[in-house]
Structure 1
């Protein structure tokens, strides 16, 4: 598959060919330009690039001192304001620069020289409470360490590092640390929960978390109403809102209080060779959250964080639907994700929708889930036209490929010792909060080690539709679990599962094509079908004789529910 990305560079338009590799594995080569495999992919709109005059404004000329002790907030402000007057680059030289929040301005490229470390202060009082957004809804939070609002032509570049002092903000569960780590954390200060199983940086942080856990968060949008829980209101680290022509390139950004890189309602984003690092136990520390953004390229990045890696969002529930701005027209490629909740993720806050997303040549190592598409009743929104070609995964704790419209509810997949049949999800009436997943094309995927190879879990009132998975090798405990779905096609998929009773499970789904399925010889059961709404399930080009039993049907299902054409 191939798509063309038009890029405007200094007034000249260039054309980048986005090629998807023909086979899984690190040694596979890109398709040549003009391959017929790209026939079903549209061209994406232009991604306008940021560009800056050559003028350079050295931070030291504005009073900055690189001693790790001097607070350089005012020096950053002066340098950025001076640069914005005519445009150019603010140069942060090698050294340790302590600072409070940095606010970007139009036509400014903040450039960190190699060896530059911008250390944001752990003094939470330096971050004023402001009206902003949190997890897809309007909220009061602390000001982000780096932020920009309503800007055009901005950049953050260079091989230096930003450190967000996230340890001063984030709560930590005792279960996440070994005993030595826990004792060291407790000795550092802060407060413990009543059960002594969680640490909080302060009493204000604990109070805010308790209010949230009790389901009684404050609905006010007046910052003064939150002074007593300000430490709970962790900021996203790099927050860009309604900005255009953004260049983020080469830097490392780490130790974030919450989400790490968060463009909201932005256009024309280029994110290239950026490294995001957070502790694996760091709550809400997503690497990249593209929320209601249009037109962009993410490539060559490395993410190792405590929550989702590459995440597509578009607002939460009623506010997201009212905003009505999908994240669309993005290419994500050549990126590695470690120790995240999900490698490439859409949702769960996707109420404005997502479409025209292309993912290729990515590697996920040690993530909880590989390809993670999640939503829930109440979200609304449509996710469609998602293309994935070339993803390799190892040591996935949960699902290699997950489509879940029942997110945050009890997992209907049975636990050890429980019934092997999935639980029935009760239907609810369709309304504006009913989400939709449709039109996914996934190919050339390998996974070595997961709990489940593929889990598709729709809603009885709104099935997951039109999913194609082709050329995949998935080594896992369970093979396929498919609930409340229609028009699902697996072609040339190897389900190398240890739990072979059954290899594949289908419930209340129809128009399911299982073509060229490979599985472990001697499997107890190849396919179990349950649910009185299951129909039109086809097994073709598959050696069903390798299993001790080929098909098991639930009560009230006729034999014609499953049609087999043996290989």
Structure 2
């Protein structure tokens, strides 16, 4: 059977003598009822469903058809050239008995992923999960309340509602199947149309796979579900994700670079993600963690990341976009564009750290382009940060509008921002930051073009703070006036800065303040500074002649 026959949706339906509507019986279709499957939600169908898959596989391939009904099942193994088709109204209902899930060799025994899965495939090719049916993992049966004290209202900004539950353990080990769907070293994987619901852990992980298409699926996991990532694309290449609707309790779409199955850590590369709608209490689109290998040539476009207005703060997205490298790998060639965000805590988070280091792979994060972002209702400052010895390189933000309602305090500007080189990367890792819009540190080659930073609540901090940044280009910055005497932009130890085409808002004390003994080559050209009380302030520790101004309207 060729690829087109396998993956195309069949139109061969007929009315049977019993008044049931089903696919025409032919050599390419296997109705699971022929193997004894009963869709009553009570009968355990693991053996019948697996026999149908085996029959299709032994015949050289075809479609295993699951008609309307609820089919209770343990773990299933999908085989090459087999398409599992769930009819509208059909549900594969995962068993709540851990003994019904076979242990598959490979992943680490602890952590969020393990060896048990509701649907598993390894070294298979031309496999598919399609239809308008549902895969339901009955996740809440595998969790228990933590009974933790309620977080204080002033701490909700850094809390996560999923902390209210944790996985049930037996003999110190998690019993939940996670990921619910796991595809290992497979080629030509196609997932379309299905609803993936109530995953006990991670929902879907293709790992070490080649050519993966995920289209038009829905993920519906409880927002309080611990570690219920929507997708974890791991060490795959040639991946196409589109038209997906994900609501979950952990990262919605997460790219990872690790190999728990042994062997080299392959690159995550040639990945396109578009036309998706994402909501969660963790991160919307995230690269990391783990980040032990390379991320190359990745695009994320034309999507929405949101929380409802009624969602409590600790149930909101932590970072809309998180690009992280902390485990010794590399990031290069990331393009993110046309993203709308609503009520996301932190719109942008870019982080290079050294949580773990891999001597065989030079750590780097470079070549990131983010454009056409519109974020409203944000609560925390966006940031781009590296370390003194591991610097973020070549990042460009263009046509970005961020509206914040945080209402920060002027004393936060004086807080020392910790480096946190070994910390788990998260947008809240530094505490409250000294800027209300964007904070950048240890970056080489930063271009900010047509950036609009708006504080909808009085905020006493500068809009933009750059610390130890080299080769900074700021064009067309527009921002709200701080509610205190703070400048609009603050540069510390910045070397090679060009600010042009910017405008000072009415009543701002100073458009720019410059400090730091390492400051060099700061230039202001062609800005409208007429509404500022002072064009710029140069602190005494700045070398003479380091700041120059020409052609500005004052």
- TM bin, normalised by shorter chain, reads 0.7 to 0.9
Aligned partner of residue 556 in structure 1, secondary structure: coil
CA gap 1:295/1:559 in 2 versus in 1, 3 angstroms: closer
Match of 2:348 among 387, 395, 401: 401
CA contact under 8 A between 1:538 and 1:562: conserved in structure 2? Answer: yes
Q: Distance in 1 between matches of 2:8 and 2:373?
A: 37
CA contact under 8 A between 1:93 and 1:112: conserved in structure 2? Answer: yes
Structure 1 length-normalised TM: 0.74
Equivalent residue number for residue 236 of structure 1: 179
CA gap 1:200/1:465 in 2 versus in 1, 3 angstroms: closer
Q: Distance in 1 between matches of 2:168 and 2:277?
A: 35
Match of 2:87 among 113, 130, 135: 113
Structure 1: unaligned runs, 5 residues or longer: 1-7, 12-48, 179-196, 209-228, 410-428
Structure scoring higher RCO (CA < 8 A, sep ≥ 6) equals 1
Tell whether 2:507 aligns with 1:549: no
Match of 2:147 among 170, 174, 185: 174
Superposition map of 1:462-481 within 5 A = 462-476=390-404, 477=406, 478-481=436-439
Aligned partner of residue 42 in structure 2, secondary structure: strand
Equivalent residue number for residue 292 of structure 1: 235
Q: Distance in 2 between matches of 1:80 and 1:340?
A: 37
CA gap 1:295/1:240 in 2 versus in 1, 3 angstroms: same
Q: Distance in 2 between matches of 1:275 and 1:558?
A: 51
Equivalent residue number for residue 344 of structure 1: 285
CA gap 1:391/1:347 in 2 versus in 1, 3 angstroms: same
Match of 1:537 among 497, 508, 513: 497
Equivalent residue number for residue 146 of structure 1: 119
Equivalent residue number for residue 304 of structure 2: 363
Structure 2: unaligned runs, 5 residues or longer: 11-25, 152-162, 308-316, 407-435, 529-554
CA gap 1:344/1:95 in 2 versus in 1, 3 angstroms: same
Q: Distance in 1 between matches of 2:106 and 2:366?
A: 31
Q: Distance in 2 between matches of 1:315 and 1:203?
A: 25
Q: Distance in 1 between matches of 2:333 and 2:70?
A: 45
Match of 1:157 among 116, 119, 130: 130
- Distance apart, 1:556 and its partner CA: 2.1
Aligned partner of residue 449 in structure 1, secondary structure: strand
CA contact under 8 A between 1:485 and 1:509: conserved in structure 2? Answer: yes
The alignment covers a number of residue pairs equal to: 455
CA contact under 8 A between 1:266 and 1:293: conserved in structure 2? Answer: yes
CA contact under 8 A between 1:315 and 1:321: conserved in structure 2? Answer: no
CA contact under 8 A between 1:360 and 1:391: conserved in structure 2? Answer: yes
Q: Distance in 2 between matches of 1:50 and 1:338?
A: 30
Equivalent residue number for residue 311 of structure 2: none
Tell whether 2:472 aligns with 1:512: yes
Q: Distance in 1 between matches of 2:149 and 2:76?
A: 32
Match of 1:335 among 276, 287, 293: 276
Q: Distance in 2 between matches of 1:545 and 1:67?
A: 66
Tell whether 2:527 aligns with 1:566: yes
Match of 1:86 among 52, 60, 85: 60
CA gap 1:67/1:548 in 2 versus in 1, 3 angstroms: same
Q: Deviations over 1:40-83 (max 9, x none)?
A: xxxxxxxxx95699721111110011111110000011100111
Q: Distance in 1 between matches of 2:454 and 2:164?
A: 39
- Distance apart, 1:441 and its partner CA: 1.2
CA contact under 8 A between 2:472 and 2:496: conserved in structure 1? Answer: yes
Q: Distance in 2 between matches of 1:83 and 1:470?
A: 51
Q: Deviations over 1:506-545 (max 9, x none)?
A: 1111111111011114663211122x4x311221100136
CA contact under 8 A between 1:253 and 1:277: conserved in structure 2? Answer: yes
CA gap 1:347/1:56 in 2 versus in 1, 3 angstroms: same
Q: Distance in 2 between matches of 1:473 and 1:176?
A: 37
Higher normalized helix content (fraction of residues): 1
Tell whether 2:527 aligns with 1:527: no
Tell me which moved more, 539-548 or 473-482: 539-548
Q: Distance in 1 between matches of 2:361 and 2:489?
A: 33
Equivalent residue number for residue 325 of structure 1: 266
Superposition map of 1:198-217 within 5 A = 202=168, 204=170, 208=172
Tell whether 2:485 aligns with 1:485: no
Q: Deviations over 1:422-448 (max 9, x none)?
A: xxxxxxx99446531111111111000
CA gap 1:121/1:468 in 2 versus in 1, 3 angstroms: same
Equivalent residue number for residue 97 of structure 1: 71
Equivalent residue number for residue 100 of structure 2: 126
Equivalent residue number for residue 425 of structure 2: none
- Distance apart, 1:120 and its partner CA: 0.6
CA contact under 8 A between 1:171 and 1:199: conserved in structure 2? Answer: yes
Tell whether 2:294 aligns with 1:353: yes
Q: Distance in 2 between matches of 1:341 and 1:350?
A: 18
- Distance apart, 1:460 and its partner CA: 1.2
CA contact under 8 A between 1:321 and 1:380: conserved in structure 2? Answer: no
Q: Distance in 2 between matches of 1:329 and 1:526?
A: 39
Aligned residues: CA RMSD? 2.9
Aligned partner of residue 291 in structure 2, secondary structure: coil
Structure 2 length-normalised TM: 0.76
